[in-house]
Amino acid sequence: MSTVAYIGLGSNLANPVEQVKQAFGALNALEHCQLVAQSSLYRSAPMGPQDQNDYINAVAELATDLAPLALLSALQSIENHHGRVRKGERWGPRTLDLDLLLYGDKSVDLPQLKVPHYGMKQRNFVLLPLQEIAPDLVLPDGESLSACVAAISSAGIEKLT
């Protein structure tokens, strides 16, 4: 039985729009996964150091038969294929960032994976694209996505396509 997972996509290096578009294709090509929906692309200011390019962000909905850690490994493989270099710099520039935001209604608390994603409720570049493809979503803690969106600012984010 497939689980619905939501993946946050982001890029601010090496033609970010193309990076995110190619990542949608790579997600759809994953074994034991099917791309169900993809949001529009959004441009947002960087969260961390401000001396970097704006980000292109989106969210994908996947139906997956992969367990959470196997899905995380597959996402990291896609990142690596896109030239992702992990320097240990938090919120630094990157060719591609794929975050496992939600995995069904499950909570995962492992050293290498926390689901729901720890910062998603504070990030308009996650919540707005997620709302676009799953407007009636209820998070594992029982809070509605619409309530999360109502609680954040939409400043600094622009819907592109």
pLDDT tens by residue, 26-60:
999 999 999 999 999 999 988 877 778 999 999 99
Give domain limits for the chain: 3-159
pLDDT tens by residue, 114-140:
999 988 999 999 999 999 999 999 999
Q: Catalytic residue positions?
A: 84, 94, 97, 99
Please say whether the beta carbons of 160 and 41 come within 8 A: yes
Instruction: Give, to the nearest 10 degrees, the angle between helix 16-29 and helix 68-81.
Output: 140
The answer to whether residue 6 scores a pLDDT higher than 90 is yes
CATH match for 3-159 among 3.40.190.10, 3.30.70.360, 3.40.50.10470, 3.30.70.560: 3.30.70.560
pLDDT tens by residue, 82-106:
876 656 556 667 889 999 999 999 9
* Confidence at residue 84, expressed as pLDDT on a 0 to 100 scale: 63
Please say whether the beta carbons of 67 and 90 come within 8 A: no
* Confidence at residue 86, expressed as pLDDT on a 0 to 100 scale: 59
